[in-house]
Amino acid sequence: MRKLPLRRVATLLLPLLLGAALAQTFGRPQYGSFSVVIVAIFAALLWRTPQSSMRARAKRGALMGLLFGLGWFAGGLWWLYISMAVYGGMAAPLAASAVVLFSAYLALYPLLAGALAAALAPPATSRPWHAARGVGAALAFAGAWTLAEVLRGTVFTGFPWLALGYAQVGNPLAGYAPILGMYGVDFAAALTAALLAALTQVSLRGAALAAGLLIILAVAGQQLANVRWTHPTGPQFTVALLQGDVPQGEKFRPERLAPTLSLYGNWLTTLRADLIVTPETGVPVLPEDLPPSYLHTIATALRSHHAQALLGIPLTRGANQYTNSVLGIGAAAPYRYDKAHLVPFGEFIPYGFHWFVRLMHIPLGDFARGTFHQPSFAVDGARVAPTICYEDLFGEQLAQRFRNPAHAPNVIANLTNLAWFGDTIVIPQHLEIARMRSLEFQLPTIRATNTGATAIIAANGRVQAMLPPFTVGVLTGHVQAYAGLTPFAWAASQFGYAPIVLVCLLALGVAIALARTRAR
């Protein structure tokens, strides 16, 4: 009688622990392949149900997906607590509850994936699955998993942080990024995991087929990584990426403003580089609150050095509207970029949640949005596309700037401030995301951050140079602009998320067809 409760506890605890283990693979590219193994174990557990009823299998799969998701997101996004409790002034119990509730919301998506994948898989029996049923179950898992990930990345403005595809930047599956973007890598990783899990379920013939498909996936990914869709254009230009390491607790204090302005003002007026980039809100106040000659002095010095700068600064638009923006300084024509994809609660307040934001003390918490079609900043003939912090998670939205190939970006420039989250895994997690954007578009990415990771990323997604996090310094280097469109850049610019959704639906359709054929 005692064995049943213990077995039940183990059944509930194992997916939770697997999700927590998956969370630890993000921001650690050397362990990215382990993420596939962990998801494979989850898939194998998902299929270990003997119920013949699809409804019963879906119910069990939903519970396992929910528990897996809770471990995954709570284990990988715990640093959100720091922004709310330490810097937002929220009571610790309320901040911790907010992280748990947010993780529970995000876990609804693996819940959906688990329910669908389990429902479409055959019941577990003492006899091995036929090869066709094994392949069908693997396709159903990959399609359901990736479709749920796309939903998580789009519903309520989306939150694709910790998507499985990001953990693959250091392995052969990253080769699918220029073809179908991060979600294409996500699908390849989920399919790989499901085929690994199928090895424990299928017949000898099925195992041989699954092994063959695994080899094809890995080899194809490696070969695709060697295909160049973009090419160098124009001469290299020099960059200076600024990392001020201004503590978040001090950044908006009046007594800290003068040292911050002096630090960045000195860099901007004395450094010699074709392009100088500050972090997000490197200048943390509106232009009208600056010393009268501050921006003019910087612009004059830049022009005398034949240099230009991208300056992170809040701006106004109309009456009582603020924008999280980038100013282009030193160019002949004025340039401004307004952040298009804002952070819920941090930069805009969702309807009905003003009471929640009032519990925190974050300045400028409700910004106006920019558009997804803003022009790039011209530097020595190269088009540099700014993104601000969180919005570089959305490759399909960045792809909108590639709709007109004649004006497509040649370099991506990300301005970020992660000081809200302290010295945590969030910094390498975000670097991993930036590397994926370079892989998708086969363009170099330059990152100027307040606390890290300030880096130069090559068009092949590799980090060429990086400053140590939480140091004050300047990262200098040469950047080669690239021209051309990857298949992902073209398809996403024209059709958004439709191509990867179609892939998922086709996988689910084939899975259903295989199941019906075998049933007959």
Question: Rounded to 5 degrees, what are φ and ψ at 39?
Answer: -65, -35
Rounded CA separation 287/279 (Å): 16
Residue 280 among the catalytic residues: yes
Q: Which of 175, 209, 165, 188 is nearest to 25 (CA)?
A: 165
Half-sphere exposure of 225 (CA within 13 A, CB side): 19
Q: Using CA atoms, how far apart are residues 245 and 333, in angstroms rounded to an integer?
A: 31
Active-site residue, from 339, 432, 440, 504: 339
* Non-local CB neighbours of 105 within 8 Å, separated by 6+ positions: none
**440: nearest Cα among 163, 196, 139:** 163
Per annotation, catalytic residue among 389, 391, 440, 504: 389
Contact (Cβ atoms closer than 8 angstroms) between residue 25 and residue 77: no
- Does residue 504 have an active-site annotation? no
Helix (H, G, I), strand (E, B) or coil at 85: helix
From 149, 280, 391, 440, active-site residue: 280
**And the tokens for 257?**
């403003």
Distance of CA 455 to the CA centre of its chain: 16
In degrees and rounded to multiples of 5, residue 439 shows phi and psi of: -65, -40
Of the candidates 193, 162, 186, which has an alpha carbon nearest to the alpha carbon of residue 23? 162
Alpha helix (H) ranges present in 203-247? 204-225
Q: Which of 59, 165, 157 is nearest to 112 (CA)?
A: 59
- Please, what is the angle between helix 177-198 and helix 487-495, to 10°? 100
Question: Which tokens in the block code for residue 519?
Answer: 């049933």
Let me know if 389 is a catalytic residue: yes
- Alpha helix segments (H runs only) across 130-228: 131-152, 177-198, 204-225
Active centre residues (catalytic): 280, 339, 389
